[in-house]
């Protein structure tokens, strides 16, 4: 049997609800509205690609070598080294004494040659006097013709012996001069292979001298790059201490290696700094300047090894970003060359690009100096 509800009980249950509704109405309360508009998650700066002149470089590794390196030795054999006056790294001037041999025997030989020369001069004087007397006696018929001829022969023989003695004297002095090794040119001692007391031989290398201390950079270039380099091109190297060193291409090899199809480029280094002969150094050869479209480096994001930018789509203070693949070229300072994938008039995110994802909503902040603002925004 169905029960009937008690009107008094039902009214009692409705009372709290009516009281709450009355209270809300009296206070002017309304149900809260739900905000469905998206909120920008990041404030970014925007920039447009610009065109500017970029230096075109060819990067290649090469070796540091002496411009001219002289092998120095003595021209005597069997002599003992008395003193070595220089060491590796010393700067020397032309004519400076580098090494001395024990010259006591050579000094004695020089004195003997001087004495022999004096004797030859005395013999020549006697021969001349005898020849002159013979001429006088022959005129008076006091000597025979054969005796006169003998006196003339003695004179000629004495003159020849004097010439020989002079040559011997000069040779002895020359050998004595060979006992002292002097620098043929100003430069830098790069190697030393001799010690005091060592017995040396003619033709052996004792010292090496870099002429004028002058170094050069030699780089081997492939055929396709070799033809782009010309004499006078500026070269920039990086020394072991990180300091940039400038040079200039002095010569370009007139021919290529027929097997390897490569050629050598020689660059003078007037101020080599910390570079030393025998080192390897990476060099940048300036080929010239060309116009290019560039963007700040901070606006390019690399993901999975590929370069991207975020383009802006919006006319107000907010915009949606789109991740776009681009191609990049060389970098100069804080600017990177854009070689493809982006039009010149497109606005992209500059600062803050690394924190974005495709389709994010951003707020556009200040525009970098010299950059054009996005459409609809005033800087």
Residues 357, 303 within the same domain: yes
Please give the DSSP secondary-structure letter assigned to residue 17. H
Q: What is the pLDDT of residue 373?
A: 44
Domain-embedded: residue 22: no
Q: What is the pLDDT at residue 30?
A: 46
DSSP β-ladder status, 318-325 and 91-92: unpaired
| Long-range CB contact pairs, 240-247, < 8 A, 24+ | 240/274, 240/275, 240/279, 241/273, 241/274, 243/273, 243/274, 245/269, 245/271, 245/272, 245/273, 245/275, 246/271, 247/216, 247/217, 247/283
Q: Any idea what the CATH number is for the domain that residue 86 is in?
A: 2.40.50.100
Separation between Cα atoms, residue 269 and residue 126, nearest integer Å? 67
Reduced to 3 states, what is the DSSP secondary structure of residue 220?
strand
Give start and end residues of each alpha helix (H) in 227-296.
none
**17 lies in a domain?**
no
Query: Which pLDDT value is given to residue 245?
Result: 92
Q: Which two tokens stand for residue 267?
A: 């660059």
Q: Residues 192, 245: one domain?
A: no
Helix (H) or strand (E) holding 251: strand 244-252
Which pLDDT belongs to residue 240? Answer: 87
Nearest to 45 by CA among 369, 291, 376: 369
Residue 74's SS3 state is: coil
**Tell me, what's the pLDDT at 38?**
66
Domain span at 304: 43-55+292-364
Contact partners, residue 191, CB within 8 Å, separation at least 6: 88, 205, 207, 208
Count of domains forming the chain = 4
The pLDDT assigned to 260 comes to 87
Report the alpha-carbon distance of residue 275 to residue 247 in Å, rounded.
Answer: 12
Q: Which of 129, 160, 176 is the last residue of a domain?
A: 176
For residue 300, the domain's CATH number is 2.40.420.20
Residue 124: CB atoms within 10 A of its CB come to 20
Q: What's the confidence (pLDDT) of residue 315?
A: 66
**Is 34 part of any domain?**
no
Q: Are residues 141 and 117 in the same domain?
A: yes
Residue 89, CB-side half-sphere exposure with 13 Å CA sphere? 2
pLDDT at 259: 87
Query: For position 101, what pLDDT does the model report?
Result: 95
Q: Which of 173, 189, 229 is nearest to 70 (CA)?
A: 189
Q: What is the mean pLDDT of each run of 10 residues along the chain (379 residues)?
A: 41 42 43 56 85 85 91 93 94 95 94 95 94 90 90 94 95 94 93 93 92 92 87 90 91 88 91 89 88 90 91 81 89 87 88 86 66 41
């Amino acid at each position: 049997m169905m029960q009937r509800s008690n009107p008094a009980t039902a009214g009692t249950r409705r009372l709290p609800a009516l009281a709450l509704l009355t209270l809300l109405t009296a206070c002017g309360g309304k149900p809260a509205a739900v905000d469905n508009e998206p909120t920008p998650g990041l404030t970014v700066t925007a920039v447009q690609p610009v065109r500017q002149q970029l230096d075109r470089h060819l990067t290649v590794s090469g070796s540091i070598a002496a411009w001219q390196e002289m092998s120095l030795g003595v021209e005597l054999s069997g002599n003992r080294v008395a003193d070595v006056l220089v060491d590796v790294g010393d700067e020397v001037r032309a004519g400076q004494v580098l090494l001395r041999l024990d010259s006591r025997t050579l000094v004695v030989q020089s004195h003997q040659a001087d004495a022999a020369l004096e004797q030859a001069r005395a013999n020549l004087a006697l021969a001349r006097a005898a020849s002159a007397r013979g001429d006088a006696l022959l005129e008076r018929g006091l000597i025979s013709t054969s005796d006169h001829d003998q006196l003339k022969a003695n004179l000629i023989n004495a003159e020849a012996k004097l010439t020989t003695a002079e040559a011997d004297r000069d040779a002895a002095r020359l050998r004595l001069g060979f006992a002292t090794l002097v620098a043929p040119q100003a430069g830098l001692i790069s190697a030393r292979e001799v010690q005091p007391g060592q017995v040396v031989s003619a033709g052996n290398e004792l010292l090496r001298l870099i002429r004028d201390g002058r170094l050069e950079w030699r780089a081997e270039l492939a055929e396709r790059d070799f033809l782009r380099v010309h004499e006078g091109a500026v070269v920039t190297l990086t020394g072991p201490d990180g300091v940039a060193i400038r040079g200039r291409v002095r010569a370009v090899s007139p021919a290529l290696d027929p097997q390897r199809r490569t050629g050598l480029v020689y660059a003078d280094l007037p101020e080599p700094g910390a570079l030393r002969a025998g080192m390897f150094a990476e060099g940048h050869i300036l080929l010239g300047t060309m116009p290019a479209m560039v963007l700040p480096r901070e606006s390019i994001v690399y993901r999975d090894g590929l370069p991207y930018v975020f383009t802006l789509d919006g006319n107000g203070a907010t915009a949606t970003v789109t991740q776009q693949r681009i191609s990049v070229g060389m970098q100069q300072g804080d600017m990177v060359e854009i070689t493809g994938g982006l039009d010149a008039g497109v606005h992209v995110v500059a600062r803050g690009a690394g924190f974005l994802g495709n389709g994010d909503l951003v707020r556009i902040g200040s525009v970098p100096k010299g950059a054009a603002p996005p459409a609809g925004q005033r800087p």
